[in-house]
Amino acid sequence: MDGVIEVQHPLVDHHLTLLRDKHTPPALFRQQTHRLAALLAYAATADLPLQSKPISTPLTEMDGRELAVRIAIVPILRAGLGLVDPLQDLLPEAEVWHLGMYRDEQTAQPVEYYCKLPKDGACDVGFVLDPMLATGGSVVSAIAALQRWGCPDIRVLSVIASRPGVERLQREFPQVRIFVSSVDPVLNEQKFIVPGLGDAGDRIFNTLPPN
């Protein structure tokens, strides 16, 4: 699938297996989410442009290199918050803008309730964060919001995605690259990814209903 980067690495497989396990407790689930987000971010930032920066080391003068673009990290609330810290660790100068959406359980369509993107002054590169790309509805809405803002380079980071969701993004936004740990084959009748990992937001924030 063009534009879809399924990150291949033994650590991705290892951490994703722990993330999928229904017996993994919330604290460990959050840690695994952070670890996978860092691995995805490493891949998603591999081609960011650099510019020269003269510096002084303790021994001499030299030309170093620094990022040459303005970057925005855009988590989709609430589950996307679970991916923010690892991105900020790697990109401490990046801006963070929040988009709030929830899924209508009757229609499985996203409903936007919060948008903190400014009206002008768009970033150069925007990273949309959502742990699960299921139907693709929320991510499609987020990409559209970034395009209205004027962001020319939009990249999506999701821990797992469904093939139908990925195919939808490719149809609607073929220029947007998607970085994922795994593309799972199907959605069930409730539009959850299968085999998936359940509800990422509930597992991150420990809000699963009692058994």
DSSP H helices in the chain: 10-20, 26-44, 84-90, 137-149, 163-172, 200-205
Catalytic positions, please?
Answer: 103, 107, 199, 202
Cβ atoms of 160 and 131 within 8 Å: the answer is yes
Contacts of residue 136, defined as CB under 8 A and 6 or more positions apart, other chains included, come to 162, 164, 165, 166, 168, 169
- Rounded CA-CA distance 183/188 in Å is 15
Dihedral angle, C-alpha 88, 94, 98, 101, nearest 10 °? -70
- Nearest alpha-carbon partner for 94 in 75, 119, 113, 120: 75
